[in-house]
Structure 1
Amino acid sequence: MQLTAPADRTAEGPRTTRRTGIHDTDGMAVASFVLGLLGLLVLNVFLGPIAIALAGVALWRGTARRGRALLGLGLGVADLLVLVAFMSADNTMSWSL
C-alpha cells in the first residue's frame, strides 16, 4: 500500500478559476442596456432584438450585473412595443422624431 503520491504527479495547489467568462457576460449585460436605450430613439427594429438576445445570454450565463441585463431585456421589449405602436399609428415600418 502506497501512502505518498507517485513521483510523476505534482501536488495541486489551491484551484484558481479564470473569470473571463464572467467579464464577457458583464459586457453583454451593459451592451444590452445601451443598445436597448439607443433603440428607443433609432433603429428599434434591429437594436431591440439584439438587446433582448444579449440580455438573455448574459442572464443565462450568470452575469454579475443581473439588474443591468434585466433593464436591457426590458428596454429591448419596449423597443419592439414602440415599433408596433408607431407601425399601427402610421402604417409604416419605421418612425422618426
Structure 2
Amino acid sequence: MHLTAPATRRTGIRDTDGMAVASFVLGLIGLLVFNVFLGPVAITLAGIALYRGTRRRGRALLGLGLGVADLLVLLAFVQADGTVSWSF
C-alpha cells in the first residue's frame, strides 16, 4: 500500500513553501532589526526552498533579495558608524 508517499510529498512541498514565505518575512523584518542575523537566515531559507522546488518561487526570490539587502544595509551602517549596531 502506497498511501503514505503522496502525503509525504505534499508535506515536503508545503514545507518548502513555508520556507519561501519565512525567508520573505525574515528578510523584510531584517531591514529594520537584527539584520546581522536575519539576513543570512533569509538567504539560507530561500536557497533551500529554491533547491527543493517550491511553488512559491517568487516569494523565495524576494526573500533571497531581501536577505542580501539586509547585509548591504548592515554594511552601509557599519561603514557610516564604524560599529556593528545601529539605531534609528
TM-score, normalization by structure 1: 0.83
Bigger helix share: 2
Superposed, 1:56-75 pairs within 5 Å as 56-75=47-66
* Whole-Å separation in 1 of the counterparts to 2:49 and 2:23: 9
Greater C-alpha radius of gyration: 1
Structure 1 residue 81 displacement after superposition: 0.2
Structure 1 residue 17 displacement after superposition: 2.2
Q: Which residue is equivalent to 1:87?
A: 78
5+ residue gaps, structure 2, are: none
5+ residue gaps, structure 1, are: 1-11
CA displacement, residues 7-31 of structure 1 (integer Å, 9 cap, x when unaligned): xxxxx89xx6231100000000000
**Number of residues of Structure 1 aligned to a counterpart in Structure 2:** 84
Q: Which residue is equivalent to 1:43?
A: 34
* Whole-Å separation in 2 of the counterparts to 1:52 and 1:94: 20
Structure 1 residue 95 displacement after superposition: 1.0
Structure 1 residue 94 displacement after superposition: 1.3
* Whole-Å separation in 2 of the counterparts to 1:94 and 1:60: 32
* Whole-Å separation in 1 of the counterparts to 2:56 and 2:14: 10
Runs of 4+ in 1 over 6 A off after TM superposition: none
